[in-house]
Structure 1
Amino acid sequence: MFGYYLDLALHSLTRNKVLGALMVLAIAVGIGACMTTLTVLHVLSGDPLPGKSGKLYYPQIDPQDARGMMPGTLAPEQVTLIDGMNLLRAKRADRQALMAGGAVPIQPGSSSLDPFYVEARYTSADFFAMFDTPFLYGRGWTGADDEAHARDVVITRQLNDKVFDGADSTGRSLRLGGITFRVVGVLDSWRPNPHFYDLTTGSYNYYEQAFLPLQTALELHFAKNGSNDCWGNGTGGVEGNAYPSATCVWLQFWVELDSAAKAAAYRQFLVHNSEEQKALGRFQRAPNVQLRNLMQWLDYNRVVPGDVRLQAWLAFGFLLVCLVNTVGLMLAKFLRRSGELSVRRALGASRRALFAQLLTESGVIGIAGGAGGLLLSLFGLWMVRHRASDYASLAHLDPAMLLVTFALAIGASLLAGILPAWRACHVAPALQLKSH
């Protein structure tokens, strides 16, 4: 029967092309606007490390002085160098990484390339295993290399292609800031979005091309990127040092904990650590700690721009308006066919059969509207990619959203067709047959 209903639906659409085109257009415009904004929201609110994000946590402690202290004051979003190193060396998590953003000058060995700057990440050895970074060649450095202030560097595939023509560069030398480093690894394509592990340098479409041991970068006074917050007299860097003073928070600290029990134990460790630091006179406030997993951390920082969420709601509202118009058009179309439907009822067709026939026609309209909406959403995403925003280049339709486009179009058209189909099926056949 479905094939028969489908044939009737196609015949009906071709019989009244103008009305059919208006219904398809109404669905297409609504779906196009809705899927454009929904795709952007989907891209920006996605999990940057699927399968791993629930095990990654961002600890927060509060080393600030008592000035300006108020109930409910939030802990700083970064850590001081002293606290970061204490937490790192405590090794109370499965893995831990202390880091900061930076920038380093590259002096290529080839005379055909001029020196240039790249974004860098100064971090500790667990960074690569903790964040599941894929390696094209080599590996990361070790904890012993951290302590030895090793002149090791991990570079990205892009930088490797530029400096070493894509060859396996592990073991080769690369000069950073006038210092010779040994390449120990080359990362394959890895650009997590959002840039979750350091939101101070950029939320989207930000990536580093060189990864150095943190203690090495500190020793060499390599330039840092990102923000820092200070209190008391620590409003600037120590004389002769490129980094903020001891009373400034400016580093990020992440831990990996593979169970809820370990997370609870680590949070308790943070409380005890704060109590110990207060007893020593370093901390002045009562323990104020937080331990959020990766997705909670992104929600806490409101990484998804508020205007994107608002646009998504407005687009759904616009789709609703389009559906109301579609209901009116379908009602007019179906009621004009009351005579035809009454003849079918007189020949023995049930109301259920007529209802299924009309809903099939609504579904066909939805499929056609989905195809039109897909084209409009592709155009809309192309326009988004030309906007001046850090996430613009990420606006692409993936296979999942492609399926959502047609599912939403068909579902919307079926919903719009319920009332018109019900009304058309309940027209009294006797009156229609008598008038004909």
Structure 2
Amino acid sequence: MWGYYVALAWRSSARSKALTALVIALLAFGVSACMVSYAVFRATTSDPIPAKSSRLYVPQIDSFGPTINWNGSEPSPVLSYTDAIALYQARKASRQTLLYPATWQMESDNRLIPAMPLSGDAVTADFFPMFDVPFRFGGGWTPTDDTQHASVVVISRRLNDKLFGGQNSVGLEIRLDGKIFRIGGVLDDWNPKPRFFDIASLDIPGIFSDTGDIYIPFTRAIDMKKGTKYDLCPSYSTDLGISDWDKYLRSECVWIDAWVELVTPSDVERYREFLRNYAEEQRRNGRFSWAPNIRLRNLMAWMAHEHVTPKASNLSMLVSASFLLIVMVNVVGLMLARFMRRAPEIGIRRALGASRAAVYRQLLIEGAALGCVGGILGVALTLLGLRGAGALFEPSIARIVHADASLIVLTVLLAMAATVISALYPTWRAAKIQPAWQIKINS
């Protein structure tokens, strides 16, 4: 029976080629616009570390006070050196890491490779196990190396390929800012999008850029007086005290990302209470003159709070959904015209004993068949649209947008669903046709 209805749909489409082509074209353009926007939205909001995102938290402490309007009553997204070190040394989480992005001038013993600036992060030892960072060779350093301010470095796979031809380089040395560092590990392919651990320190294009090539101990970077360009000071002067490193570290400038791993809800509540008590202690000591103002958000809540999804992506979703709605309204009119032109045929079928339910099945299956064809064309237009995503979005974002099997299937299903929904009213009108009236008119 289903095959029979599909055959009827095919013959009906052959009799009204123009209407059929218009329905299919409208659906294809409407659905493809939605799916291109959805692909970008999905890429920018996906969980970068789904196995652990619910256990990774960002602690915030207000060290500026209410006189400086950060974002309503929100504390700054990064910490001052004083607060970061205090949280790190308290060891109130199963794992914790401090980090900040920086750039180093790298030199190699290979004379064929010129000196070059390389970006990366200064991190503590827990960074690698906390974020499930994979290694191709070697591994990260230990907390003891942090304590001893060791001159050890972890490099990316692409840097290892460039410097050492992809060979195991563990134990070899490179120079960073003129200092010798021993390679302790080489990362495997690891390039999470977004670059979630640096969200608070980077702008939107930077969040979706590639991860750095250099990771050195946080304490060693502090010894090297390695600053970051992503700081904010109460006076809004980005170079406050930077000429005097010790003064800079003692200042209220905020520039350090902090992460903690908390396994259970009770761990989360205990850590939140610890933050509140710490802020209260700073108030009692005279450093703060305001009530404790702290936050503790897990990774996905943090991404939402930091508005990781570009505004252009949200806007394009709204525009494309509106366009699809307009398309569906037009398809309703076209389907109504298709079905009502077949009123004599439907009337005769009803007179020969076909029930209204049979008419419903026939016409809705016809709509689904048109939607399937429109969806297939929509897939082609979606793939074409994804190739042109760079014209609407930052190149770093456009690079991470891709089509997969789920997107293709969803495109076809959306087209079929949109057509069936659009066909409901025309089908209802067609099923109400009176057989006797149609026989009388055509007799």
On whether the aligned pair clears a TM of 0.5, the verdict is yes
Q: Deviations over 1:239-272 (max 9, x none)?
A: 4439944221110101010111110110000011
Matched with 2:440 is 434
Q: In structure 2, how many angstroms separate the alpha carbons of the residues matched to 1:49 and 1:348? A: 59
Q: Which residue in 2 is equivalent to 1:101?
A: 101
Aligned match of 2:340: 335
Q: Does 1:211 align with 2:215?
A: yes
Q: Which residue of 1 aligns with 2:388?
A: 383
Unaligned runs of 5+ in 2: none
Which of 264-273 and 185-194 deviates more? 185-194
Aligned equivalent of 2:259 = 254
Tell me, in whole angstroms, the C-alpha distance in 1 between the residues paired with 2:44 and 2:107: 35
- The question of whether the paired residues in 1 share the 8 Å contact of 2:68 and 2:234 is answered with no
Displacement of 1:66: 7.1
Question: Any residues of structure 2 matched to 1:24-423 within 5 Å, and which?
Answer: 24-64=24-64, 67-68=67-68, 73-199=73-199, 200-201=201-202, 202-231=206-235, 236-241=240-245, 244-246=248-250, 247-387=252-392, 389=394, 390-423=396-429
Instruction: Indicate if the aligned counterparts of 1:222 and 1:242 stay in contact, CA closer than 8 A.
Output: no
Aligned counterparts of 1:148 and 1:405: Cα–Cα separation in 2: 56
How much does 1:403 deviate? 2.2
Q: Is the 8 A contact 1:244 1:250 kept in 2?
A: no
How many aligned residue pairs are there?
A: 436
**Separation (CA, whole Å) in 1 of partners of 2:239 and 2:178:** 30
In the alignment, is the contact (CA less than 8 A) between 2:154 and 2:183 conserved in 1? yes
Q: Could you tell me how far apart the structure 2 residues matched to 1:249 and 1:71 are?
A: 15
The normalised TM-score by structure 2 is 0.93
Give me the whole-angstrom Cα distance separating, in 2, the residues matched to 1:129 and 1:384.
Answer: 35
Q: Secondary structure at the match of 2:349?
A: helix
- Cα separation, partners in 2 of 1:120 and 1:424, compared to 1, 3 Å: same
Task: Quote how far apart the aligned CAs of 1:191 are.
Answer: 1.6
User: What is the CA-CA distance between 1:121 and the residue it aligns to?
Assistant: 0.4
Residue by residue over 1:159-202, the C-alpha shift from the partner in whole angstroms, topping out at 9 and shown as x without a partner, is 11111111111122122122121111111121222222222222
Shift of 1:430: 1.0
| 4+ long deviations beyond 4 Å | 65-72, 231-235
Over 3 Å counting, the alpha-carbon distance change for 1:353 and 1:103 in structure 2 is same
Q: CA deviation at 1:81?
A: 1.0
**Helix, strand or coil at the partner of 2:175:** strand
TM-score, normalised via structure 1 length? 0.95
For the 8 Å contact 1:31–1:373, the answer to whether it is kept is yes
| 1:28-73 superposed Cα distances (whole Å, 9 cap, x missing partner) | 1110111111111111111111121111110011223675589963
Structure 1 unpaired stretches of 5+: none
Is the Cα contact below 8 Å between 1:384 and 1:392 reproduced in 2?
yes
Q: How big is the shift at 1:234? A: 9.6
Distance 2:235 2:288 in 1: 12
Deviates most, 407-416 or 385-394: 385-394
**SS of match in other structure, 1:60:** strand
C-alpha displacement at 1:400, in angstroms? 2.6
Q: Choose 145-154 or 230-239, whichever is displaced more.
A: 230-239
How far, CA to CA, are the matches of 1:388 and 1:362 in structure 2?
35
When residues 70 and 299 of structure 1 are mapped into structure 2, their CA distance, relative to the original with a 3 A threshold, is closer
Identity, % of aligned pairs?
38
Cα separation, partners in 2 of 1:52 and 1:431, compared to 1, 3 Å: same
The whole-number CA distance in structure 2 between the counterparts of 1:363 and 1:69 is 55
Q: What is the root-mean-square deviation of aligned Cα atoms in Å?
A: 2.1
Shift of residue 278 of structure 1?
A: 2.1
Distance 2:309 2:418 in 1: 27
CA distance in 2, matches of 1:161, 1:95: 31
Is the Cα–Cα contact under 8 Å of residues 343 and 429 in structure 1 kept in the other structure? Answer: yes
CA distance in 1, matches of 2:135, 2:331: 53
Q: How many angstroms apart in 1 are the aligned matches of 2:125 and 2:440?
A: 87
